Amino acid sequence: MEVLLKSITLYTNQEEIQKLQSQPNAEELVAEQISAVINELASELLTSVATELSSPNVYGCVKDFDKSEELRTSGNALFSRGKYLEAVQQFSKSLALLNCSNSSSALEAETCAKVLCNRALCLSKLKLHKLAEFDSTEAISIKPDHAKAFYRRSIASLHQNNISSAIIDAERAVRLLKDQDASAEEAEALLASLLEKCSMNSNSTDNVGGGGAAEEEPTWTTHSVPQDLWNEKPDENNKNTADSAASVRIAWSCSLSEISKFTETRLMDQSSIKLTESARLGRHLIVGTHEIEGNNDIIKDQPVAHALEKYQRLRRCGHCCQELPLGGAYFWPCRACCVVLFCSKECRDHGNVHHVEGGPECGVPWTVLLPPEVVLAVRLACRLKRDQERDMYINDNIGATTSNSSSKVVSSLETCFSKMDTEEAIWRATTACAAHAAYTIAYQRSNCFADSTIIPITIAEVLRALGIVHLNGIAIVPPAFGSEADSIGIGVYPVASFLSHSCIPNVSVRFQGNTAIIRALSTLSAGASLFHSYGPQAGEMTTAQRRMMLKDQYHFFCECDACAVRSGGTGTDKIEIEKEAEMVGLKCTTEVCLGAMPVPVCSTSATGSDGAAVPGSTIIDAGICSKYDLSIEDEHRTLKNNMGVVGCTKCGAELPEVEWNSKIAPRLAKASKCYSTSCGMLEAAEKGEKCTTKDIKMAVAVLKESLKIRQELLHRYNQVVGATHSALSWVEEEGFIATVAKKDANKKNKKEAGKRESSNIILHSRASLEIAERVFPHDSTNIAFERLKLGTLLQENGSKDDVKQGKNLVSAAITTLERYFGSEAAAIVAAEEK
């Protein structure tokens, strides 16, 4: 794929592509042009890539009966040793490698039923009787004469106090066993017991399924099947409850070309959200006629299409994106392949529009090998094309006027293709060609053309969908303190896609699986716009960094309130300018001055092979004095426009370029490398990867050396100083240093080592919180999590006064987290404290 991309970029006339980008149907024209180039110069290369992406024989994507048998045997052995959860996991893996579809052989069907019954038995031992019932029912659907499946389901029903169903299944098991000349002794005993219990209950209750409370099951994760929120119009007479308000339905009363007729979303207080348009914000959401109270969930939004990150494919449900139950031990695979796993039978059989059994995604690796945004683009193109053709068919043949509003609105989203860098446009078009070719091969090979969800698509449709994903896709993150780094996947949402951006947003977006929940962070007055943050918020980057990132990815110059107070115009806040200079600045070289000094222009943090700085660049690499790449010219321009200086924010002193290049830059580059190496090694050790005591000890020492250099050269509120403190508090809290110290200490010194450890954790945590409170807005979740961490440490290890302070910090953290996460805050706090 990489070779194809480089080749087409080299062969293509960029000037010609640039001209095509300005045309009204740019995606179609560019797709046609790139396709022509590929056909002329790289057709064999494209064929090779597409064949690899659609190969039906890639390990990990197709069924493997022999490997399945090995896993089943392993599961049986674990069960015999009483390791029921581990056995469940082995049986689940065995099931994933078995062909349980309608095309399976008699042997495969028999084995599937056996594995499901074995897993059901393990689940019963774990008192997860509802899951055991699901497995037994599935075994029966695969092999209707499987006596043991009826027997297992009878027992599962009994433990749920469903006596009538238990009797029916037990009777069926007895009949089947006798028909098969097998021993029916156990089933007959169960049936006799059930009939006796039923007889006793009939004297005390009219409910034949009665007989006392059902056996309580341990808590396990089950997920309701998400519904399309757009298919039905809201009932005008229905006064929504708090629960129904969370499932907002949006009814399009007009075509998008008639944008002045706003679309409304009903809320619990009978106010509304409207879609409107303005010159500055484009199409965006505003509050309707009544204000919305803060700290409330106001919208639940389902994706039109989504894709999991690669590393999440075997950890989360392919339909709802929830974590697989029982720590991933229990799941339902596709019947015909093992490309995708589901958290429940409902999610597998719900009619997943992406992965259809026997369809273009089933048993082929393109969804595994391609980047998730490209996979999402193909899925989105299919969904939009399918809904469009369905609406046309209904309109032409039935005469009804209908539309799938979610697809209709998503298809109208901007792609900014004309504003895109030409090389990027070529890359996308080439990627679209390769993805389309792989999908087309898999589509032509699929065996479910009768399914209306499986349709052919064009390269231009994939290219446009890729633009929609790039500009409007939303990272699906865990419900806690998520970031793009720990993304679950990416989705395109019909409502959330119209949220405008602000570096200090007034709504938050969190996720339950792939369901986006939009929450008002403060009271929103009638007519107020809804603002979400597209990237790092104020405090995470400087204004110049944020604007550069937003301009590069989303093609607009941010003029939100947070950026306005740092822009040199009316209302500029010089204190905020100082804070930003501090978060990426150096320590002033003037004695006793507390100001922040910027890096001099025409400098660089890069180092040559001899370790000396290489002059000439105006971009400082991430990790040197900022968490992100830093443009020196942009930061100088900000200081000049707002403070009238390009030197220290307090005394105006400027750092000589030669001193930066010869003395400071090399040492900060070394500190950055030490930090990255140490954190990588320690994270690997935490995950259980092989790491010696000597390695851990060295990593901790190097991390401390990194902090020493950074504290000596960077401003006390610099964000990378805060990151180093945070890393050291994590290291010591996780017990790496304590483990090393206690191995080398005698019993007399162990207690003292533990005290030093707690003291160091608190020291670093205090420093990390101090920096966070300086650079982030006061109600930021970044500050809340730092407060929660320090507060918990103080309550567990501090003095009497420390304990009191710790309680106050935890209380303040919970207040902020409830603002963002509502009722889920308690679980997040518990997880963080643990």
Given this model, what pLDDT does residue 284 score? 86
Checking if the pLDDT of 188 tops 90, the result is no
pLDDT recorded at residue 259? 29
d(CA 66, CA 111): 11
Q: Which residue has the tokens 């509050």?
A: 287
| Assigned domain for 797 exists | no
Residue 265 lies in a domain: yes
Beta bridge partners of 587: 596
Q: What is the pLDDT of residues 273-318, one digit of tens each?
A: 888 888 888 888 888 778 888 998 888 888 999 999 998 999 999 9
On the question of pLDDT at 682 being above 60, the answer is yes
Q: Which residue has the higher pLDDT, 626 or 245?
A: 626
Round to whole Å and give the CA distance between 685 and 719: 25
Q: pLDDT grade, residue 201 (50/70/90)?
A: low
* 489-492 β-sheet, strand order: 305-308, 489-492, 474-476
Is pLDDT of 482 > 80?
A: no
Identify the band that residue 679 occupies on the pLDDT scale cut at 50, 70 and 90. Answer: confident
Query: Is the model more confident about 574 or about 820?
Result: 820
In terms of Cα–Cα distance, which of 643, 633, 626 is closest to 577? 643
pLDDT of residue 256: 28
Number of H helices, E strands in the chain: 31, 18
pLDDT at residue 533 tops 90: yes
Distance from the Cα of residue 745 to its chain's centroid? 43
Contact 91, 122 (CB under 8 A): yes
The CATH number assigned to the domain holding 528 equals: 2.170.270.10
Q: What is the pLDDT of residue 214?
A: 47
Q: Is there a contact between 639 and 625 (Cβ–Cβ < 8 Å)?
A: no
H-only helix segments in 734-799: 736-744, 747-775, 781-797
Burial of 476 (0-12, 13-18, 19+ CB in 10 A): buried
- How far are the Cα atoms of 471, 502, 560 from residue 556, in angstroms, in the given order? 11, 12, 11
Average pLDDT over residues 501-527: 93
- pLDDT score at 480: 63
Please provide the distance, in angstroms rounded to a whole number, between the alpha carbons at the two ends of the chain.
44
* pLDDT for res 151: 92
The DSSP bridge pattern shows strands 515-520 and 489-492 to be unpaired
Determine contact, residues 637/582, Cβ cutoff 8 Å.
Answer: no
| Contacts by residues 103-112 (CB-CB < 8 Å, ≥ 24 positions apart) | 103/336, 104/142, 108/65, 109/142, 109/143, 110/143, 110/146, 111/65, 111/68, 111/69, 111/72, 112/139, 112/142, 112/143
Q: Tell me whether residue 294 is in a domain.
A: yes
pLDDT score of 750:
46
Q: How far apart are CA 112 and CA 211, in angstroms?
A: 34
| 434 in Cβ contact with 49 (< 8 Å) | yes
Strands 500-501 and 531-532: parallel
The residues, ordered by sequence, that sit 6+ positions from 557 with a Cβ below 8 Å of its Cβ are 547, 550, 551
User: If pLDDT is split at 50, 70 and 90, which confidence band does 641 have?
Assistant: confident
| Closest to 636 measured CA to CA, from 620, 624, 659, 621 | 620
Nearest to 696 by CA among 720, 673, 723, 677: 677
* Sign (positive or negative) of CA dihedral 34, 37, 39, 43: negative
Q: Do 384 and 461 touch, CB atoms closer than 8 A?
A: yes
pLDDT digits (tens, 9 = 90+) for 9-21: 877 888 999 999 9
- In this structure, are residues 423 and 362 in contact, taking their beta carbons and an 8 Å threshold? no
- The DSSP bridge pattern shows strands 531-532 and 586-587 to be unpaired
- Indicate if the pLDDT at residue 266 is higher than 70: no
DSSP category for residue 734: T
The token pair at 350 is 């719900």
Q: Identify the sign of the CA torsion 441, 442, 448, 452.
A: negative
CA–CA separation, 393 vs 402, rounded Å? 10
**Count of other CB atoms within 10 angstroms of residue 255:** 11
Domain region containing 286? 242-302+493-532
Phi, psi of 512 (to 5 degrees): -115, 100
The Cα 152–Cα 117 span in angstroms is: 7
- Torsion angle of alpha carbons 812, 814, 819, 820, nearest 10°? 120
Among 103-112, 185-194, 530-539, 806-815, top mean pLDDT goes to 806-815
Residue 452 is predicted with a pLDDT of: 59
642 to 449, 576, 595, 675: CA distances (angstroms): 64, 10, 15, 33
Nearest to 21 by CA among 11, 33, 7, 10: 33
Q: Residue 692 above 60 pLDDT?
A: yes
In this predicted structure, the answer to whether residue 61 has a pLDDT above a threshold of 90 is no
Burial of 206 by CB count in 10 Å (0-12 exposed, 13-18 middle, 19+ buried)?
Answer: exposed
Q: Is residue 51 part of a domain?
A: no
Residue 59, Cβ density class (10 Å: 0-12 exposed, 13-18 middle, ≥19 buried): exposed
pLDDT digits over 110-142, tens only? 999 999 999 999 999 999 999 999 999 999 999
The per-residue pLDDT for 502 is 95
Considering the chain, what percentage of its residues have pLDDT values greater than 70?
82
Between CA 581 and CA 596 the distance in angstroms is 6
Tokens 């708090």 -> residue = 242
The CA distance from 285 to 529, in Å, is: 6
What is the mean pLDDT of the segment spanning 492-496? 91
Give the pLDDT mean for 640-658: 86
538 backbone dihedrals φ, ψ, rounded to 5°: -55, 135
pLDDT at 612 over 80: no
Percent of the chain with pLDDT over 90: 48
In 3D space, the residue among 448, 439, 489 whose CA is nearest the CA of residue 469 turns out to be 489
Mean pLDDT of all residues in the chain? 82
Asked whether residue 278 is domain-assigned, the answer is yes
Cα dihedral 337, 342, 348, 353 sign: negative
541-583 pLDDT per residue, tens: 999 999 999 999 899 999 998 888 776 555 567 888 899 999 9
Beta-carbon contacts of 240 under 8 Å, excluding residues fewer than 6 positions away, are: 266, 267, 268
**Is 791 a residue whose pLDDT tops 70?**
yes
Residue 811: count of CB within 10 angstroms of its CB: 12
Q: Which of 795, 790, 284 is nearest to 497 (CA)?
A: 284
Q: How far apart are CA 632 and CA 601, in angstroms?
A: 6
Quote the CA–CA distance of 565 and 503 in Å, as a whole number. Answer: 12
User: Which two tokens mark 153?
Assistant: 């389901």
Q: Per the domain annotation, does 255 fall within a domain?
A: yes
Q: How confident is the model at residue 602 (pLDDT cuts 50, 70, 90)?
A: low
Average pLDDT, stretch 171-188? 81
- Count of domains for the chain: 1
Instruction: Let me know if residue 263 belongs to a domain.
Output: yes
Q: What pLDDT is stored for residue 458 in this prediction?
A: 95
Q: At 449, is the secondary structure helix, strand, or coil? A: coil
Over the stretch 411-456, which tens digit does the pLDDT of each residue have?
889 999 999 999 999 999 999 999 999 999 999 888 765 555 678 8
Question: Tens digit of pLDDT for each residue in 206-255?
Answer: 333 344 444 555 544 333 323 332 233 333 333 333 333 333 333 222 22
pLDDT at 351: 58
- Amino acid 211: pLDDT: 42
Q: Classify residue 417 by its DSSP letter.
A: G
Q: Is residue 298 part of a domain?
A: yes
Q: What is the per-residue pLDDT for 440?
A: 94
Of the candidates 90, 89, 144, 87, which has an alpha carbon nearest to the alpha carbon of residue 113?
144
SS3 794: helix
- Cβ neighbours of residue 667 under 8 Å, at least 6 residues apart? 709, 713
Mean per-residue pLDDT, 702-721: 96
